[in-house]
Amino acid sequence: MQSSLDRRPRQQGLHAAIIMDGNGRWASARGLPRGAGHRAGVKTIQRVAEVAPDLGIGTLTLYAFSSDNWRRPAEEVGGLMRLLRAYLRGETERLARTGTRLSVIGRRDRLPAGIPEAIARAEAATAAGDRLHLRIAVDYSSRDAILAAAARLGPEGLSREGLSGALGADGDVDLLIRTGGEKRLSDFLLWEAAYAELHFTDRMWPDFGTADLATAIADFSARDRRFGGLNVAAVPEAA
Ligand code: FPP
């Protein structure tokens, strides 16, 4: 079994995950409808995905729509689904051209007609991308994903590696960022982020820029990651 001290992301580069919070407040502060905040949030996704590989990120997982977000007003939910559809339609070609492999995690059976097919098309068209693995979480609940993965494996198949595989985890999360000033995990990647370093920023997602991502990475790089063990330099040699 892999020891807790040699845990490393499987792919090249860091696995960063972002809870993209603050779109609504960003819009309200400008007297705009919440949908304008989500539209601005999509531009931030484009910006961040473009620079992420240059900052050492190999996998980027973004929380776009939680399973609890269905409780929002139908108009807002509909707007988010339209944005997702437009993103898939408008971005796939650019993602493929820039070596970005797109995956969507979460349930697909409750998404509006046509979206699961659009996701499958975008995933197929970008499958060869090896510069960045961009994972977007839609109708996602980490608790539900863990339960479903465990049920698929059955008691005999359960192991740490087995569950990570069944979750399609693509390596543990190294750095988990939340924008918008709140400090909670909101049912996001609870298994995969077991040893993630956490970075919280007051910046609203539409305002989150390259410099903010670079700050988060620098903050991460300064952390002493011990994975439950001791810092090797701090352990006295055996007598
Ligand atoms: C949280 O802000 C953000 C969301 C619930 C949605 C995030 C979605 C996007 C960035 C755009 C859609 C994504 C794609 C891939 C098309 P909030 O609305 O909870 O903000 P608030 O806390 O200020 O109200």
| CATH number of domain containing 62 | 3.40.1180.10
List strands edge to edge, sheet with 57-66. Answer: 100-105, 132-140, 57-66, 14-19, 175-178, 197-200
Q: Considering only CA atoms, which of 71, 83, 69, 141 is closest in space to residue 115?
A: 83
Question: What pLDDT, on a 0 to 100 scale, did the predictor assign at position 235?
Answer: 56
Residue 154 placed within a domain? yes
Domain count, the chain: 1
d(CA 179, CA 201): 5
- Shortest-distance atom of ligand 1 to CA 63: 7
Q: What is the pLDDT of residues 81-92, one digit of tens each?
A: 999 999 999 999
Residue 135 placed within a domain? yes
d(CA 6, CA 16): 18
Contact of 43 with 210, CB cutoff 8 Å: no
Residue 227 placed within a domain? no
Residue numbers of the chain with a pLDDT score lower than 50: 1-11, 238-239
Question: What pLDDT, on a 0 to 100 scale, did the predictor assign at position 12?
Answer: 77
| 107 burial via Cβ count (<10 Å: 0-12, 13-18, 19+) | middle
Amino acid letter, residue 11: Q
Residue 70 placed within a domain? yes
Residue 229 placed within a domain? no
d(CA 134, CA 60): 5
Does 3 belong to an annotated binding site? no
39 CA distance to ligand 1 centroid (A)?
A: 9
**How crowded is residue 110: how many other Cβ atoms within 10 Å of its Cβ?**
12
Partners of residue 105 on adjacent β-strands: 137
Is the beta carbon of 69 within 6 A of some atom in ligand 1?
A: yes
Q: Which residues are catalytic?
A: 21, 69
- The residue whose CA has the least distance to atom 7 of ligand 1 is 64
d(CA 227, CA 144): 26
Amino acid letter, residue 195: Y
Print the domain residue range for 169: 10-220
- Cα–chain center distance at 215: 18
Q: What is the pLDDT of residues 100-115, one digit of tens each?
A: 999 999 999 999 999 9
- The residue whose CA has the least distance to atom 22 of ligand 1 is 22
Question: What pLDDT, on a 0 to 100 scale, did the predictor assign at position 232?
Answer: 58
Residue 55 placed within a domain? yes
74 CA distance to ligand 1 centroid (A)?
A: 14
Contact of 13 with 54, CB cutoff 8 Å: no
Question: What pLDDT, on a 0 to 100 scale, did the predictor assign at position 179?
Answer: 98
- Pocket mutation for ligand 1, best pick of 19, 23, 76, 188 (most atoms within 8 Å of C-beta): 23
Is the beta carbon of 134 within 6 A of some atom in ligand 1?
A: no
Q: Considering only CA atoms, which of 46, 140, 64 is closest in space to residue 100?
A: 46
Contact of 34 with 24, CB cutoff 8 Å: yes
Residue 190 placed within a domain? yes
Residue 237 placed within a domain? no
Does 68 belong to an annotated binding site? yes
Question: What pLDDT, on a 0 to 100 scale, did the predictor assign at position 230?
Answer: 76
Question: pTM above the 0.85 mark?
Answer: yes
